[in-house]
A = this chain, B = another copy of it.
């Protein structure tokens, strides 16, 4: 039996439509994971996340949850699902990215990395074994290995050494995974993370090394860190060829709506990104005709919905003029309504992609959508 079943493979691209089964339910792919770093998707309650946005899986973060509320409390709660009352699948990032980006001081020591908390400067040590233990306490359906996410630009030698480190850690992660058990009686999966910066030979080597370890799925890490978008597409396209066909493929931290469509075409199944929520809180609303900057004066008496045809709570109930008023007046409701709409937009995008892959019309549809996004984006900016 496969945990991941591919239902349809697109004839004219590497896109696939599938279903990934977890102990907390199915994830239809392609899919997008709203980011709930600290056990909450910022400004959106769990009811709307499930019933309106219809998220099938959310992402949370090992580093953040380890520091706050801590594993002791998560264990007492019976895991993160119970703690945050989200009974659908959860994926946890391992915290590698945070250690290398947020921590003031960090040093590789033995089989792990010592780092200082960004909250209080206290010292902590993460090893592959430790992040598995923490993710057992969290009880996430999909755990991620500890990796080093290289920045951009990154010279070849560093990328080479770093990818080797990630591969070595991957072995230890897998070992710790196999030697440990879920704490709450629900299966947990472990995904490997392919690194190698923008160097094809390193990406190929990393993918091959990780594939040998037979993870439940594979992520591409170290992209969307500042490199030109065409390089990202090229690396994704190149790397997916070395990723197992029958395992889910997760592109970490990507991205804009058009990035997601381009990478679905290149064989990616799962995405996460802070953009819908973060940009929403900054009053930027995604629509089928580009981004609307809701503080703009031109919306002050625009009583249309944010995006015609959108069925989200915000669009069903409120106008651009009201949303602008809320942003200008500094009201908290603005953050909620914008986040709901943007997440709904992203989830619609992956749901429609899946439908079009199954129908066999993904490529035409994709071009149309991207064209609409890009042309209108230009118009919005010229306004």
Contact = CB atoms under 8 A, between A and B. Distances in A.
Interface residues of A, number: 37
A25 B100 CA distance: 57
Given A45-B333, A300-B69, A332-B332, A321 B83 contact: yes
B332 A336 contact: yes
Interface in A26-56: 38-40, 42-47
Contacts of A43: 332-333, 336
Contact of A76 (B42, B69, B303, B333): B303
A311 interface: no
A193 B21 CA distance: 63
B318 A85 contact: yes
Contact of A321 (B69, B300, B321, B328): B69
B77 A326 contact: no
Given A317-B85, A321-B73, A321-B83, A45 B303 contact: no
Contacts of A336: 43, 45, 332, 336
A321 B77 CA distance: 9
A233 interface: no
Interface string A305-322: 000000001000111011
A303 B42 CA distance: 22
Of A39, A45, A336, chain B has the most CB atoms within 10 Å of the CB of A45
Nearest to A41: B333
A229 interface: no
Interface string A126-156: 0000000000000000000000000000000
Nearest to A75: B301
Interface of A: 38-40, 42-47, 68-69, 72-73, 76-77, 83-85, 300-301, 303, 313, 317-319, 321-322, 325-326, 328-329, 331-333, 335-337
Give the 3 A-B residue pairs with the shortest CB-CB distance, closest first: A43-B332, A69-B325, A40-B333
7 contacts: A38-B326, A38-B329, A46-B317, A69-B321, A72-B301, A73-B321, A77-B303
